[in-house]
Structure 1
Amino acid sequence: MGAVIGKVEPTEMVWLPESKIEAKMVQAMQRRASQGSSMKSFNTIILKFPKIDESFRKCKSIFEQFDEDSNGVIDRDELRKCFQKLDISFSEEDINDIFEACDINEDLVMKFSEFIVLLCLVYLLDPAALLAKSKIGTPNLEATFEPLVDAFVFLDKNKDGYVSKSEMVQAINETTGGERSSGRIAMKRFEEMDWDKNGMVNFKEFLFAFTRWIGIDEAEDEEDE
């Protein structure tokens, strides 16, 4: 995810995105961060877990609609048709990039949890496209994905499009009042988000961690058994 290019302060790193799609994610998140966040603490995010979980599961109908062969995954061609039906004006390169970015298992197909992450990234990059929900008969996708964008903005204290360890500690401390266990809690949550273990978390990594926190991955594993 991103490469370090130098220090601004002793504890601050400047990161360059490793891909075009990551650069677009970072730019979109920086624009959104200028609006601020309604989240007041990490507990506020946790309290939203059940409602977001319910909203995610309503998105299953979208997934099934575009899983044309009903094999439980969406391949690249099915995703391309999905974008065409939604009139999402992504280039072929962007579609390939976002597919590869969300294909976390690198198995060339997209499971439901990966598809949720992809939809949320599309919402971040092109909100108008997904808000045309009448085309796919979906629930309110803005209500589904905006809390996740809002949560990331809350964590990204310096509004650079990434969450660092120090920012995670700060967010947890705001909730716990600096209790002795807060540092351990922050590090555990951060490690769950930092998929590539490079010390910085982008929005995609945050989303994949979130699907695990609310149990989407576990539910998929149970269905596969």
Structure 2
Amino acid sequence: MNKTRSSVGSFSLPNSSTTTNPRSTRISAAFVLPLTKGDESPMTSAPTTKLEAKILKTMRSRESQGTSMKSFNTIILKFPKIDASLRKCKAIFEQFDEDKSGSIDPKELNHCFRELKIDFTDEEIKDIFEECDINDDMGINFKEFIVILCLVYLLKKDRSNSRMGIPDLETTFETMVDSFVFLDKNKDGYVSKDEMVGAINETTSGERSSGRIAMRRFEEMDWDKNGMVNFKEFLFAFTKWIGLEDAEDEEEENINE
């Protein structure tokens, strides 16, 4: 077996079966490249709503259980598998986009939750819709839909059996939660700049550009520029790192050709 190492941007990753997917190099490269014009993250604020407080409390409780991630490299190697799993979620999104508008409105999200047996009240569904409708256009796009489902996964109390009736996707969500827990070293429910830089420096020891990469990635996550990243901010950035947006753009181009 070839024991050479493949270099992705400023990361040096071991060749393995998890990175043989032809998209894996591009997925990982998305992590080390700077934002392009038009990619700026929308602004958010420190927790001010009941839902935000609940997410923070639940995350802190989850963090007390620890994480299976050993290094940031472990997370990077999971990018291709996570990407493949999340793209399968597109069928669920399209199923509940009943008017085929390309987004899910409040009524459609309510129907989605009922069909997936997510036992949220109407008020809770309204709150999570507003929390993730970043553009305030009364429509949830595919990326926002994934963030909603991952937040639901975190918040669901029933840990027996499946939380949403989609166990394969829930395994992916657990990996995403685990990744956040790994980064949040002091377990306060937020990822700080120092925590992000420290995690990447451990992976890219001795490489001059590692600090710059860490700062770029942190700035992508820290929408409100307060120096702290909550779980929702992390999720929106994470979907970009794995290449999900690139896959969406490719699908649109193929449709238009």
Tell me the TM-score normalised to structure 1 length.
Answer: 0.85
Residue 160 of structure 1 pairs with residue 188 of structure 2: yes
Residue 86 to residue 140, structure 1, CA distance change in 2 (3 Å) = same
Q: 1:45 maps to which residue?
A: 75
Contact 2:156–2:163 (8 Å) recurs in 1: no
Aligned to 1:19: 49
Q: Which residue of 1 aligns with 2:245?
A: 217
Q: Distance in 1 between matches of 2:233 and 2:163?
A: 26
In the alignment, which of 153, 175, 179 is matched to residue 151 of structure 1? 179
Q: Which of 173, 189, 192 is residue 220 of structure 2 equivalent to?
A: 192
Q: Does the Cα contact within 8 Å between 2:153 and 2:164 map onto a contact in 1? A: no
The C-alpha deviation readout for 1:8-64, integer Å capped at 9, x for no partner, is xxxxxxxxx222111111111111111111111111111111000000011112111
CA distance in 2, matches of 1:180, 1:57: 34
Name the structure 1 match of 2:162.
Answer: 131
Runs of 5+ consecutive residues of structure 2 not aligned to the other structure: 1-43
| CA distance 1:112–1:92, change in 2 (3 Å) | same
- Alpha-carbon distance between aligned partners in 2 of 1:19 and 1:133, rounded to the nearest angstrom: 24
1:112-159 CA distance string (max 9 Å, x none): 11100100000000164892555xxx4612211110000000000110
55, 74, 98: which one pairs with 1:68?
Answer: 98
Identity %: 70
Question: Residues 86 and 132 of structure 1 are in contact (CA less than 8 Å); yes or no, is this contact kept in structure 2?
Answer: no
Opposite residue 183 of structure 2, the aligned amino acid is: L
Q: Check if 1:55 corresponds to 2:55.
A: no
| Letter in structure 2 aligned against 1:201 | V
Paired AA for residue 238 in structure 2:
F
Query: Quick one: distance in 2 between partners of 1:185 and 1:166?
Result: 13
Correspondence for 2:64 among 27, 34, 39: 34
Q: Tell me the equivalent position of 1:6.
A: none
Which structure has more RCO (C-alpha within 8 Å, separation ≥ 6)? 2
Runs of 4+ in 1 over 3 A off after TM superposition: 127-130, 221-225
**How far apart are 1:68 and its partner, in Å?**
1.2
Cα distance, 1:70 vs structure 2 = 1.9
Q: Give the TM-score normalised by structure 2.
A: 0.75
Q: How much does 1:177 deviate?
A: 2.5
1:39 match: secondary structure? coil
- CA contact 2:117–2:164 (8 Å) conserved in 1: no
Q: RMSD of aligned C-alpha atoms?
A: 2.0
Report if the CA contact (8 A) 1:60-1:112 is conserved: yes
Q: C-alpha distance in 1, partners of 2:172/2:209?
A: 31
Name the aligned partner's letter for residue 175 of structure 2: P
User: Could you tell me which amino acid in structure 2 is paired with residue 167 of structure 1?
Assistant: E
Is the 1:155–1:168 Cα contact (8 Å) retained in structure 2? yes
The separation in 1 between residues aligned to 2:45 and 2:141, in whole angstroms, is 25
